[in-house]
Amino acid sequence: MGYYLVPPVYRPPSEAASLIFQVTLGCSHNACSFCVSYKGKKFRIKTWPEIKADIEAAKVFYHNATRVFLADGNAMVAETGLLLKVLDKLYHDFPYLERVGIYARANDILDKEPEDLKKLHEAGISLVYYGLESGSDRILKMVHKGATVAQIIEGGRKAMDAGLPLSVTVIIGAGGPELSEEHATATAAAASAINPAYLSALTMLIPEGSFMDRKLKRGEFKLLTPMQSLNELKIMIEKLSLTNCVFRSNHASNYLPLKGTLNQDREKLLAFIQRGLANPDLLRPEFMRAL
């Protein structure tokens, strides 16, 4: 049996050079209204023999891999025992391995004991990608997130208390124009409560055929204009209270790529946003934006 991935396969931008192994196929939630990533997949957790065979086949060609990403949508949902076997095998078979990343939902973390999370950290999970999306319960319900703000904060803090670094994602424009200020303010509060190692902002793009796409076509939802998006991001950054958090908005969906460390680079980031508001030519054109 060779090393292969069941398409479609998604990974965070920062895992572009990583070797990918599917611990799960699809997403256990698979209901977010802005997402169609795994609609064609029936969710299941792969068996240990399947994953083991993938690792053994991949090491023949990628023996020098330094980074691994565990897919699909929320591989952290797998039982701790299985994940520990996977990590042990990865670090044994790839002697140059430095980092293992994984997607997780709030319930995946909340369902595990603190001791299990500590074991996963000690076994080599180096970064947990974690979707906050919005700090407003009204917006989370609107996008069918399947978790409350309180649950997402609790899960994030629980992971960090176990030593697992978090990379939290928020979505600019998730509430549309009407809820823009609420979204910016509440999301800043929730992200500050988690205080992750990394924070990334994406800008809402709606895939064809998604639930949100149908709402958009019926006139029940509106996307932010580029200027509204920048203003929402400006409010969010103004209200964030973080400690040495690496901030990025360089995803292809964003109009203005930003990078810095919060809170120390707040004024620099705000000044750059202000330049974008004053000079629309600095913004990424629509045809270059992508998921």
DSSP-derived 3-state class of residue 54: helix
Convert the pLDDT of each residue in 173-225 to its tens digit: 999 999 999 999 999 999 999 999 999 999 999 999 999 999 999 999 999 99
Other beta carbons within 10 Å of 80:
17
Q: How many Å apart are CA 80 and CA 116, to the nearest integer?
A: 6
Q: Where are the domains of the chain?
A: 13-279
Burial (Cβ within 10 Å: 0-12, 13-18, ≥19) of residue 127: buried
Q: 212 with 33: CB under 8 angstroms?
A: yes
Q: How far apart are CA 229 and CA 45, in angstroms?
A: 37
pLDDT of residue 116: 98
Q: Which CATH class, in words, describes the domain spanning 13-279?
A: alpha beta
Question: What pTM does this model have?
Answer: 0.94
Average pLDDT, the chain: 96
